[in-house]
Structure 1
Amino acid sequence: MQTSSFSTVSVIGLGYIGLPTAAMFASRKVKVIGVDINEHAVRTINQGKIHIVEPELDMIVHAAVTEGFLRATTTVEAADAFLIAVPTPFKGNHEPDLSYVRAAAESIAPVLQPGNIVVLESTSPVGTTEQMVEWLAACRPDLRFPREGESVVDINVAYCPERVLPGQVVRELVENDRIIGGLTRACSDRAMELYRVFVSGDLLVTNARTAEMGKLTENAYRDVNIAFANELSMICERIGVDVWELIRLANHHPRVNVLQPGCGVGGHCIAVDPWFIVDKTPDEARLIRVAREVNDHKPEWVLGKVRKAIAACKGEGRQEQDLKIAVFGLAFKPNIDDLRESPALHISSALAASTSASLMFVEPNIEKPLPHPLESYGLCSVDDAVQVADITVLLVAHREFYSVPEKLRRGTRLIDAVGVSTKR
């Protein structure tokens, strides 16, 4: 990596993207100030530990803190570059909630100095980077920002979305290509210099709006393809076809690659970002909207299968309150601890609210107490759950679950929403 002119970088938001990004800069001997409103996260990081699960990240953070290149705080401080990596959820009728971005922008505004660069990394609706400039300019009228008609600026501004896979974030932050969307060419050049500190992949320059839409396009593409697989699974259930065998056979076609169905779509990106496109262009984004609706419906479909299994047990003369249901998986995808927008968590919460059966939850990637409304439940081991379950519900294909189908007691009803039984 080349030498840069950035001696101090501030990362606003120390979650699943912000902390790894801060760690990457710090691993290149750049002083990093990480800022977060979560005091527990700040304390944990300053102890050289991490508050999330991500392979290899713990070692990098420990080394960075020990060597003095990474420090966390709840207060924004001056720096050469500011990266904003805060949540961008939606509210109401799937309308984007930019309050976190605005709060982050307004928090850094007082310490901005001429020559600084501000980069928004949060996945955002098209036009958010320009809106962020307006928020910054309102706080700092003494500084010149990249706006129409402004030929000379004091603060460079760019948009650079993350595009990493949970579980492989450390490697992909370094190796993946990045889209750099500066508000001017000079802003893009400055942002390229910043990211070249640790990125070995290509840096692809465009404007901010195209970069914003690029991130949304990547996730909408994934969402549409997942929706096809999920809809196919529901069709196959209706007509008596094994969807897993069907997909395996169809994928032998040289130009077909059907994804695997699941119990829905979760995570901080794919389950949220397509709505940003729909919100902006509701008349045009018809396919994207329908894909979201298909994927949002899938948890209810899975719940219906569980309720049918309960009804079948009751049809045998058993009482619902005497049944034991084992739910395998709460994370939004295999082999991680991330519960954000998790369809498995939604299904589990709905079950807890609607059945008198005894529920057992198995999630090997989580040690902390379960979130609301499951906080009164403990976590079970795989073996303990399979020994007593009357109904087994497989919601996430964690590697620890591959042996579950063959361990089940005779007569146990199995609902495999993710094809675990096909993975051995």
Structure 2
Amino acid sequence: MFASRKKQVIGIDVNSHAVDTINSGNIHIVEPDLDIVVRAAVTQKYLRASLIPEASDAFLIAVPTPFKDDKQPDLSYIEAACKAIAPVLQKGNVLVLESTSPVGATKQMAQWIAELRPDLSLPSGVDSTEQDLFIAHCPERVLPGHVMRELVENDRVIGGLSKACAEKAKALYQIFVEGECVLTDCDTAEMAKLTENAFRDVNIAFANELSIICDELGINVWELIAIANRHPRVNILQPGPGVGGHCIAVDPWFIVSRTPELASLIATARKVNDGKPEWVLDKVNAALVEVANVKGVAPSQLSIACLGLAFKPDIDDLRESPALQITKTLSERHTGQILAVEPNIHELPAKLSAGNIRLVDEYTAVKEADIVLLLVDHKQFKSMPLQLSDTQRLVDTRGVWN
């Protein structure tokens, strides 16, 4: 976006493949229209990539912020980024943390920078006007598959270490952002992003729990939700096999980690959504037993088609994907053939290296499989007619064919 506004941009990454791909004018992820903008920016020499940071006017840090096994946030990538850019920081630079982070992460980043560059002064308080570096937090708020539009149109929350920091960061983003830039302090900006994703997670948990209850009662949950949503003040989300991605499946734990004794609803929603994949596996096991009895064979002789590996429709992002987790677990528990289908990737990820998994197209999978497991409602699946034989069974976690 900055490069498309004719600003000189250097993209820094530890992944040499990503760097080489960008420098060739191509992209290494699936995102509509991104390839066109990148190709133009590189060709016009406004965008280039490197493994080593260089002196600049502004630095945006957008690195992973996962959680550890104990659900505590892992800020090591932010710390590594600080160490990488510290040698080239100069007076007057703007430094923005875009990574979704627990409350206090921006202040921690500032502390790391202060230790690495004691010669550069930071704000002494929210009203400070004397500082060498301007530090702020501005979380991304885009939907994969619509990133190019939403980066421009969406409002941005900008939290500064001081008011002057927030104003400096606002001027930076207004180079391309047409939405409103809402200014606040960095703690509130961090909590805003966590709140947005926790809100979504809680509402998805309601839908997922409802789907389990409806299955027990013999009720079609998608029909039920469509009827209930006719109420003018009801908007139930759609259930699925769980919750994935680098935000909704992770961010609520950042709230829980800071206030575990208070965040009971948020923690429960996480447990409901994290538990949904095992429920799906139980449904597949039941289908395997049923088909095995019909065919008179052992369940291990049957094949399973897993339609979709990404964490949401029509993208190639596999991060925290429940579909990927379910497919992996099936390959470990089921000795029969697993037919994996993901239209947006060209080879199986390393996590699915088991010998009983094949990456195939959706038509081959449906034709050959005994159990058809729909995990992601990609457009390719929604547009294909489904005709199963008497000995095939469908487990549809997204309501595409129900």
Structure 1 partner of 2:77: 100
Does residue 375 of structure 2 align to residue 362 of structure 1? Answer: no
Superposed CA offset, 1:74-125 (max 9, x none): 0010000000000000002111000000110111111111010100000000
Structure 2 partner of 1:333: 312
Structure 2 partner of 1:288: 266
Tell me whether 402-411 or 132-141 shows the greater mean CA deviation: 402-411
Q: 2:19 aligns with which of 42, 45, 68?
A: 42
> For the Cα contact (< 8 Å) 1:181–1:210, is it kept in 2?
yes
**1:414: Cα distance to partner?**
0.4
Superposed CA offset, 1:202-250 (max 9, x none): 0001110000000000000000000000000000011111101100100
Matching residue's letter, 1:258? I
Superposed CA offset, 1:261-315 (max 9, x none): 0000000000000000000000110100000000000000000100111122233
Matching residue's letter, 2:375? L
Tell me whether 52-61 or 141-150 shows the greater mean CA deviation: 141-150
Structure 1 partner of 2:369: 389
Tell me whether 89-98 or 317-326 shows the greater mean CA deviation: 317-326
Structure 2 partner of 1:56: 33
**2 CA distance for matches of 1:238 and 1:289?**
24
> For the Cα contact (< 8 Å) 1:28–1:198, is it kept in 2?
yes
**1:403: Cα distance to partner?**
4.7
Matching residue's letter, 1:183? L
Please show how residues 178-197 of structure 1 align to structure 2 within 5 Å. Answer: 178-197=156-175
**1 CA distance for matches of 2:44 and 2:218?**
60
**1 CA distance for matches of 2:33 and 2:124?**
40
**2 CA distance for matches of 1:365 and 1:378?**
15
Does residue 376 of structure 2 align to residue 399 of structure 1? Answer: no
Q: How many residues align?
A: 399
**1:410: Cα distance to partner?**
3.2
Q: 1:307 aligns with which of 266, 285, 297?
A: 285
Q: Secondary structure at the match of 2:351?
A: coil
Does residue 117 of structure 2 align to residue 140 of structure 1? Answer: yes
5+ residue gaps, structure 1, are: 1-23
Structure 1 partner of 2:46: 69
Tell me whether 248-257 or 396-405 shows the greater mean CA deviation: 396-405
* Distance verdict in 2 for CA 1:304–1:147, change over 3 Å: farther
> For the Cα contact (< 8 Å) 2:125–2:162, is it kept in 1?
no
Indicate the percent of aligned positions where both proteins have the same amino acid: 59
Matching residue's letter, 1:240? G
**1 CA distance for matches of 2:13 and 2:327?**
30
**1:49: Cα distance to partner?**
0.4
Matching residue's letter, 1:380? V
Q: Secondary structure at the match of 2:11?
A: strand
**1:151: Cα distance to partner?**
5.0
> For the Cα contact (< 8 Å) 2:129–2:164, is it kept in 1?
no
Structure 2 partner of 1:222: 200
**2 CA distance for matches of 1:120 and 1:403?**
40
**1 CA distance for matches of 2:385 and 2:349?**
25
**1:373: Cα distance to partner?**
3.0
Please show how residues 369-384 of structure 1 align to structure 2 within 5 Å. Answer: 369-374=348-353, 376=355, 377-384=357-364
What's the TM-score, normalizing by structure 1? 0.92
> For the Cα contact (< 8 Å) 2:125–2:161, is it kept in 1?
no
Matching residue's letter, 1:45? I
Structure 2 partner of 1:318: 297
Superposed CA offset, 1:303-359 (max 9, x none): 010011112223332122321211100000011110000000000000000011211
Structure 2 partner of 1:347: 326
* Distance verdict in 2 for CA 1:414–1:404, change over 3 Å: farther
Matching residue's letter, 2:373? V
Superposed CA offset, 1:24-68 (max 9, x none): 000000000110000000000000000101000001001101110
**1 CA distance for matches of 2:300 and 2:158?**
56
**1:194: Cα distance to partner?**
0.1
Matching residue's letter, 1:313? V
> For the Cα contact (< 8 Å) 1:332–1:342, is it kept in 2?
yes
What's the TM-score, normalizing by structure 2? 0.97
5+ residue gaps, structure 2, are: none
**1:153: Cα distance to partner?**
0.5
